[in-house]
Chains A and B, each alone.
Chain A
Amino acid sequence: MKAVAFAAVTSLVLLFVWERVDIVRIGYHIERLKAQKVLLERERDELQVKLSGLTAPERIARLASDKLGMLQPEKGQVVVINFEPETPANPVAAEGEIRIAKNMVTRRAR
């Protein structure tokens, strides 16, 4: 009986010690993960700043003109037209209008 009691007490003590040690071990692990998280967040921010700088309209425009030889459209080269089919019941006619407009431009441009 005494031996059982001794074993039980010893087990409890060992369990308590093991728990404390494990808490400290996990604590260190958490701190390592936190440090890793901070590093990853820094890397994310650095990439975000780089991306934002690389997509600046000024840079894109410069690359488009200097490297790709692109030009700003001339006066009237871009025409935005409103196209909203008035009656969904007759979509063919509406589509036809657009086609005619395109053909007209293409045909006459030749």
Chain B
Amino acid sequence: MASPSFRGRRILVACGLSGAFILVIVRLVNLQVMQSAELTVKADRQHQKNVTLEGARGTIYDRNSKVLAMNMDVPSVFGVPASLGNPGTAARNLSPILHVKATELEKKLKQEKHFVWLARKLEPEQGRRLERLGLDGVGVVMEGRRFYPKGPLLSHVLGFAGMDDRGLEGVELRYEQYLRGEKRAVVLQRDALGRAVFPKGLNEEGAAAGHSLTLTVDEVVQYIAEKELDEAVTRSSAKSGTMIVMDPRTGAVLAMAVSPRFDPNTVGALAPDRWRNRALTDTYEPGSTMKAVIAAAALEEKVMTPGSMIYGENGQFAIANTIIHDHEKAGWMTFAQMIQKSSNIGAAKVGMALGEWRVFDYLKEFGFGDKSGIDLPGETAGLLRGPRQWGKRSLASISMGQEVGVTPLQMVTAISAIANGGVLMKPYVVSEIRNGKGQLVAQNMPQAKRRVISADTARTLTTLLEGVVTNGTGGKAAIPGFRVAGKTGTAQKVDPRTGKYSSTLLVGSFLGYVPAEDPRLAMIVVIDEPRGEGWGGVVAAPVFRRVGEQVLNYMGVAVDEPVKLAMAGLES
């Protein structure tokens, strides 16, 4: 039996333990019940971190799945001035890596701020060098940056995305809603050291990447078009140049080149004028290339046949107190010869035979005066006034491609309609949209807008346009082994100083398709303000030939007429 003193001590200890236990219970009730709501919020604030994740911007591919634009995480560098020991030393160490003057960096690092950006969206290698440097008070975060690995290739169509990863021009702007990555707010669990720990749900996925786009453009065809166009613009000291290569059967754009080009990777310093896609934003008077459309109308309406005779007025034709000139004086000529020789007087007479409304209606039918509906931003409708607004000379002028404003895209879409047998197609540059998992989201299919001329008329006109290349003004567009149909154009521009047509400011162009029998390519070449001989047949037709020859070879299109073999001087 325990002694009374031992028993007393036991009771004392029991009371002490019970008291302590009761205190713990009271404290627990106080924490878990009384202050539960408030402390839960505090704990969550310490353990959880709300972050907004943004999926990478979608990739843009050419028709053969070659990457044209893609996002990559790159390092951005920030400084925490308060944590820096010596801003001067840090600035000197950072300067050669960031390629920023040490004095500029030092100025930033001496600011009384908690956070300053030192450089954003650098090359990955710069980030690795910074990590090796290991400076206190200098940190690196990763941000998505848009890369255009092919440089200036297709820049006017692709456009570009800004510093905030939003599309600002071209396809990047037009398809912003698809390309943009998903934004998702997530809650991260953190431990005492601030590290992310076990996620709430194992199946929780990050923000989905933006959709990828597949273009109709072929990077090789685009390269050929840009190279040849650049050379032609340089050779002729022209102000600019535009070229479009289209599949006339579908309206798919295979290449769209504008010279001079720009590099979308370094767009910041450039004026907006440089990145404007002139192929669909700039209008010009098409000149004689418009005669192809007038001829289509005349043949369709049976106003003319290839053998119809037209009097050339020996090169001078008075109309509405003005005189229309032809470069080659002609007397009687057939309708076919009128097209071949590109007679202005002949075209004016054909237009007059058709009448104002029929000319206007056909121009509208071929898509002039309206946007083509291509899936690119900034397209203009051009300028086509109604006959009620026409002057006395307008019918004649419009028939030879004056007093009407068109875009190169409208012209190539119109010639495609003649090439494919009379159906106006809607042009497009994006063929497929796929989500981050590669599943098809949307598809652009060839879309016929309307029939503009009959297949018979298209065939007859093709023969006439072949004559332009074999016997007429477009001889330099001839491609060995292929029958080429096309039309040259040389338009005078209005001199902004005088307000009158200039004899030196010209737009030379060539519009055509090849092979004439079963066209695979419809192309337009427009050279703006070439120096020296500015005729379309001189400055633009050779570009058509060089591009056509290379692209047909690349596409493996078989010859459609006997060809002389250069290596042996033989006929196959």
Q: Do A and B come from one complex?
A: yes
Chain A positions within 8 Å of B, measured between CB atoms, are: 23-24, 26-28, 30-31, 38, 42, 45-46, 48-53, 55-58, 61, 72-82, 101, 104-105, 108-109
The answer to whether B568 and A105 touch across the interface, beta carbons within 8 angstroms, is yes
Chain B contacts of A31 at CB under 8 A? 195-198
The answer to whether B67 touches A52, judged by C-beta atoms less than 8 angstroms apart, is: yes
Q: What's the minimum C-beta distance from B331 to chain A, rounded to whole angstroms?
A: 36
Binds A, one of B26-34, B524-532, B548-556: B548-556
Task: Say how far B438's CB is from chain A's closest CB, in angstroms.
Answer: 15
- Would you call A56 and B149 a contact (CB within 8 A)? yes
Contact, CB under 8 Å: B567 / A57: no
CB-CB under 8 A from B565, the residues of chain A are 76-77, 79, 105
Task: Select B559's contact among A23, A28, A51, A80, beta carbons within 8 Å.
Answer: A80
Name B197's contact: one of A24, A74, A105 (CB within 8 Å): A24
Q: Is B220 touching A76 in the complex (CB atoms < 8 A)? A: no
Identify which of B68-76, B160-168, B441-449 touches chain A: B68-76
Measured between beta carbons, the chain A residues less than 8 angstroms from B37 are none
Which chain B residues in 540-572 approach chain A with CB under 8 Å? 549-550, 552-553, 556-559, 563-568, 570, 572
Q: Which residue of A lies closest to B556 (CB)?
A: A80
Main SS of the interface on chain A? helix
Question: Is the Cβ of A76 less than 8 Å from the Cβ of B480?
Answer: yes
Pick the contact of B153 from A46, A56, A81 — CB < 8 Å?
Answer: A56
**What are 21 A-to-B residue pairs whose CB atoms are below 8 Å?**
A23-B198, A27-B197, A27-B198, A28-B198, A31-B196, A38-B73, A42-B72, A42-B124, A45-B70, A46-B72, A46-B124, A48-B70, A49-B70, A51-B67, A58-B150, A79-B572, A80-B552, A80-B558, A104-B570, A105-B567, A105-B570
Bound Cα distance from A105 to B568, whole angstroms? 8
Which residues of B, 20-72, contact A by the 8 Å Cβ criterion? 66-68, 70-72
Q: Are A73 and B151 in contact (CB under 8 A)?
A: no
Bound complex: CA A99 to CA B566 (Å): 20
Min CB gap B366→A, angstroms: 32
Are A76's CB and B563's CB within 8 A? yes
A48 to B297, CA, bound (A): 51
- Closest chain B CB from A48 CB (angstroms): 6
When distances are taken between beta carbons in the complex, the residues of chain A under 8 Å from B227 are: 58, 61
A74–B142 Cα gap in the complex (Å)?
Answer: 50
Task: Decide yes or no whether B139 CB sits under 8 A from chain A.
Answer: no
Separation of A48 and B149 alpha carbons in the complex (Å): 9
Q: Which residue of A lies closest to B198 (CB)?
A: A27
- The answer to whether A108 and B219 have CB atoms under 8 Å apart is no
Question: Please, how many angstroms separate the alpha-carbon atoms of A61 and B223 in the complex?
Answer: 10
Find out whether the CB atom of B566 lies under 8 angstroms from the CB atom of A77.
yes
Task: Kindly list chain A residues whose C-beta atoms are within 8 Å of the C-beta of B550.
Answer: 72
4 A-B pairs besides A45-B73, A74-B566, A77-B567 with CB distance below 8 A are A30-B202, A57-B219, A76-B563, A80-B559
Say yes or no for B147: interface residue by CB 8 A criterion: yes
Q: 7 tightest CB-CB pairs across the interface, nearest first?
A: A27-B198, A52-B149, A57-B223, A82-B558, A53-B149, A76-B566, A52-B67
Q: How far is the CA of A81 from the CA of B71 in the complex (A)?
A: 42
Q: B85 an interface residue at 8 Å Cβ cutoff?
A: no
Whether A81 pairs with B72 at a CB distance below 8 angstroms is no
A75 with B150: CB separation less than 8 A = no
